[in-house]
Structure 1
Amino acid sequence: MWTIDELVERVGAALTAEYPGAPNGRVRDVPDRRAVRWYATTGLVDRPSAMRGRTALYETRHLLQLVAVKRLQADGRTLAEIQAELAGATDDRLAAVARVPEGLLPGGEQPLEDTARPRFWATPPTSGSSSDPAWDVGRTSPSVTVDVAPPAALTGVVLPGGVVLLVPGTPSPADRVAIATAARPLLDLLSTRGLTDERDSS
């Protein structure tokens, strides 16, 4: 696993191969730490795999996601289009888009799994048992358990002006178009109040 700085360094090294750069000045050629965190917030990139103290740790899938995003941006695709295309992508699909040189992958290996990472936060917890004290109401009543509903999975819908709308579930491309249309009055209001980033309309 890598720290965010090590991940950004690998992304930069991967993009030196076959990368013409972003088609305009509104996006960074190579994502920085802030961009990586923002991509994770909007769902373009998975959340960190683990934490070491307060240090977030990343792995191969994050590298593939970031490089794939930048390669598609270099082709002129918007973030909304990229998110729709890569949502739920398998590691093999990400590897095909990212074209990361083998030497930058751990051990020079290709990703092992051909499936997207399971969305653990969307899986309901199992009922507790006496062997799982976290779910027991008390030691004196091991048969009484509490079912806790999982938090709703949120997907970031990228709107013009750098605005991100978080919605439960995974909207389709048609949903994203409808949301962008419906959000126009809100975006106008945010813009008049100086609450949008006019540099980032993708």
Structure 2
Amino acid sequence: MELWTLGELAERVETALADYPGQVNGRVRAVPDRRAIRWYTTIGLVDRPAEMRGRTALYSRRHLLQLVAIKRRQAQGHTLAQIQAELAGATDESLQPIAALIADPPRPTAETPQPTAETLQPSRSRFWTDRPMPTPDPAGTAEFVTAIRLADGVTVVLDRAADTTTPDPARLAAAAAPLLAELARQRLLPRPSGDET
């Protein structure tokens, strides 16, 4: 399994999203930078790093799939809450059609020309002036989702549309201990990095 640093992952995401039209409301970056990737990880939208080497976090193709899928959904007008609810626990196989990545994306190189404002689609040059498309909201209320990572590969997503109570992650983790034990017994939890047998 090929692993990348955060900077290398960000470069691969940018290469994979060369055709990305941007989010319909233009309020977020077209391509996630390192800070955005870290934030997505913090809120449970993207998995934690596949491996740590000292203080260096390493990421895999799954992370690339997740990030590209997020941006493709944003381009369709979905909110992060909607994307989080849809992609929580998604397998690589279910992420692939959303991300629409080729089997082996090209590696960014010094020789690869980087997109400039002139080479991007003309509509992207002033994307912030475009009127946002309305997001469907049949109930008339904003949708909030909270995700709490209980263990590697196990994230609880809570629909928070009507509740403003802040969950206690420690109590939820303690209550989920039997579930985590059963998942481990059935070998449904990811193996710790380095454990390939």
TM-score grouping bracket, smaller chain normalisation: 0.5 to 0.7
Relative contact order, CA 8 A, sep 6+: which one is greater? 2
TM-score normalised per structure 2: 0.57
Q: Alpha-carbon deviations, 1:144-196, whole Å to 9, x = none?
A: xxxxxxxxxxxxxxxx7xx985546623xxx51xx232229x9xxxxxxxxxx
- Kindly report which structure 2 residues correspond to 1:186-197, keeping only aligned pairs within 5 A, or say none: none
Bigger CA radius of gyration? 1
Match of 2:91 in 1: 90
Change (3 A) 1:58 1:20: same
Which structure shows the higher helix fraction? 1
- Kindly report which structure 2 residues correspond to 1:1-202, keeping only aligned pairs within 5 A, or say none: 1-17=3-19, 19-104=20-105, 165=146, 167=148, 170-171=156-157, 175-176=158-159, 179-183=160-164
1:103 CA drift (Å): 3.2
Uncovered stretches (5+) of structure 1, i.e. residues with no partner: 107-159, 187-202
Change (3 A) 1:164 1:87: closer
> Do the aligned residues in 1 keep the contact of 2:41 with 2:47 (CA within 8 Å)?
yes
TM-score normalised per structure 1: 0.55
> Do the aligned residues in 1 keep the contact of 2:145 with 2:161 (CA within 8 Å)?
no
1:102 CA drift (Å): 2.7
Q: Which amino acid aligns with 2:71?
A: K
Q: Which amino acid aligns with 2:4?
A: W
What SS does the corresponding residue of 1:181 show, helix, strand or coil? coil
Distance in 1, Cα, partners of 2:22 & 2:73: 10
> Do the aligned residues in 2 keep the contact of 1:67 with 1:98 (CA within 8 Å)?
yes
Change (3 A) 1:78 1:11: same
Uncovered stretches (5+) of structure 2, i.e. residues with no partner: 108-141, 167-197
Change (3 A) 1:166 1:62: closer
Q: Which amino acid aligns with 1:13?
A: T
Q: Alpha-carbon deviations, 1:3-48, whole Å to 9, x = none?
A: 000000000100113x211112321110000110111111110000
> Do the aligned residues in 2 keep the contact of 1:42 with 1:164 (CA within 8 Å)?
no
CA RMSD across the alignment: 2.4
1:104 CA drift (Å): 1.4
> Do the aligned residues in 1 keep the contact of 2:49 with 2:58 (CA within 8 Å)?
yes
Change (3 A) 1:166 1:82: closer
Q: Which runs of 4+ in 1 moved over 3 A?
A: 163-169
1:79 CA drift (Å): 0.6
1:65 CA drift (Å): 0.2
